[in-house]
Structure 1
Amino acid sequence: MRTLVLWDIDLTLVDYSGVGRRWYEDALATVVGVPLKRLPSFPGRTERSLAREFLATHGFEHTDERVEQFFAALTELAEQDRPSLPTLGRALAGAAEILADLAGRENVVQSLVTGNLPLLANYKLAAFDLHHHIDFEIGGYGSLSEHRHDLVGAAISQATAKHDEFDSVVVIGDTPHDVAAGLHHGTTTVGVATGRFTVTELAESGAHVTLTDLADTPAVARALLP
């Protein structure tokens, strides 16, 4: 049975708490020259959704051109911070082990459904050497849409085009947004309570499986693979 596993990044595989706020605050100053007045909720959101809200909240039109300028500013900030990322965050317990375990299975392909821009996704994982087992070409990224379910659809379409049909698709994340996006496409959804939502909250959002964390590699592998 061939399985496509689609990972969220922030607070599922890695924790860069506080970095996103600083990047967005600096990007806002770069693009429109104003200080941060209000911080929207980040968990489960896409970069396109956040950029539009940051601009609108501070009184600016969120045109596609301005959103792309926001993306360019975020990318430049990530480039500047890239050497320091290993000290600005941490890999979550079990992340490296489960990625390696699944990579060793012949019928498993791993990619991403993440609110991050593609380059930021790569940098965040590479900082802890977690990028080797991920196929970045077929991921769903936050530059695509304000709606997370569009990212899941894009990832599945690209994965199918590259690797042919899959018998099972599994979406893993730490927020109800991740769960809802997976359910929208009929995937198996796994909620991991390593972020701001509890096991109970993730179960109530509809997750087929809930985990406290990724630390027990055999248990996580059983949860992800049919």
Structure 2
Amino acid sequence: MTLVLWDIDLTLVDYSGIGRRWYQKALRNLFGVDMRHLPEFPGRTERSLTIELLTAHGMTEDEEYVQRMFAELIRIADEARPDMTRLGRALPGAAEVLATLGGRPDVVQSLVTGNLPELAGYKLAPFGLDRHIDLEIGGYGSISADRHDLVSGAMALAAAKHGREFPASSVVVIGDSPLDMAAGAYHGTVTVGVATGRHSAEELRASGAHAVLPSLADTEAAVAALLRSAA
């Protein structure tokens, strides 16, 4: 059985700029400050971004403050839910690849995403991309500042739910950034890059991708790339 762990932003959907806007609102609402430091977002976890922004704007990175930021981000995202189809789009081929893999009894699909669990659902549901993904066993950005912890977390949850181990060779981590590739490589998983984000195919290969796709638009090629190397 193969465990496929998807990144969300710029792999399955494009909500470019929405994270920056949500963090700007959260900082202003909670602390009355305007964002004057913009972190690098691709491949980062919500915990990592929150800690960086809190410290950059003179706040403590204590867990109480982190959780306050998480709660405010969830509240802001929840308010935006009616407008999500206008604020973003599903990337070409995402729905078809998810559905094709979802029809296979030998494949389990979940997430390794820097998003909070609630934000992950809010981003996927408007386009029906959550239908074939088991959100309960995902690795989310609330867990750790280090993305590789999200991979091991998802693998452990999948093993517990399905009553069997998923060896690293049977796990596919797919994403658009070098940090996605590094997180999978840390655990020895199969890594597949999708060059639909801010990084080129060459950058993804250099960061350890076993295969790189220009996009998910070619369903047959995408499914083959995801499953060919998995044991």
Q: TM-score normalised to the size of structure 2?
A: 0.96
- Equivalent residues, number: 225
Cα distance between partner residues in 1 of 2:47 and 2:71: 12
Cα distance between partner residues in 2 of 1:145 and 1:16: 23
Cα distance between partner residues in 2 of 1:39 and 1:61: 18
Cα distance between partner residues in 2 of 1:43 and 1:3: 26
Structure 2 unaligned spans of 5+: none
Amino acid corresponding to residue 165 of structure 2 in structure 1? E
Does residue 199 of structure 2 align to residue 200 of structure 1? no
Equivalent residue number for residue 166 of structure 1: 166
Superposition map of 1:121-140 within 5 A = 121-140=120-139
Secondary structure of the structure 2 residue equivalent to 1:191: strand
For the 8 Å contact 2:172–2:190, the answer to whether it is kept is: yes
TM-aligned CA deviation for residue 30 of structure 1: 1.7
Superposition map of 1:73-84 within 5 A = 73-84=72-83
Equivalent residue number for residue 183 of structure 2: 181
For the 8 Å contact 2:155–2:166, the answer to whether it is kept is: no
Amino acid corresponding to residue 189 of structure 2 in structure 1? T
Secondary structure of the structure 1 residue equivalent to 2:171: strand
Cα distance between partner residues in 2 of 1:166 and 1:140: 15
Cα distance between partner residues in 2 of 1:128 and 1:65: 34
Structure 1 residue ranges, 4+ long, deviating more than 2 angstroms after superposition: none
TM-aligned CA deviation for residue 31 of structure 1: 2.0
Alignment RMSD (CA, Å): 0.7
TM-aligned CA deviation for residue 71 of structure 1: 0.3
Does residue 90 of structure 2 align to residue 95 of structure 1? no
For residues 141-171 of structure 1, give each alpha carbon's deviation from its aligned partner in whole angstroms, at most 9, with x where no partner exists: 0000000000000000000111122350000
Q: 2:220 aligns with which of 211, 214, 218?
A: 218
Amino acid corresponding to residue 17 of structure 2 in structure 1? G
Equivalent residue number for residue 4 of structure 2: 5
Equivalent residue number for residue 191 of structure 1: 193
TM-aligned CA deviation for residue 60 of structure 1: 1.0
Amino acid corresponding to residue 65 of structure 2 in structure 1? R
Identity of aligned residues (%): 63
Does residue 46 of structure 2 align to residue 47 of structure 1? yes
For residues 196-226 of structure 1, give each alpha carbon's deviation from its aligned partner in whole angstroms, at most 9, with x where no partner exists: 0000010011101011100000001110113
Q: Which moved more, 1:215-224 or 1:166-175?
A: 166-175
Secondary structure of the structure 2 residue equivalent to 1:127: helix
Amino acid corresponding to residue 81 of structure 2 in structure 1? R
Equivalent residue number for residue 108 of structure 2: 109
Cα distance between partner residues in 2 of 1:178 and 1:166: 19
Does residue 56 of structure 2 align to residue 63 of structure 1? no
Amino acid corresponding to residue 211 of structure 2 in structure 1? V
Structure 1 unaligned spans of 5+: none
Secondary structure of the structure 2 residue equivalent to 1:171: strand
Secondary structure of the structure 2 residue equivalent to 1:225: helix
Secondary structure of the structure 1 residue equivalent to 2:127: coil
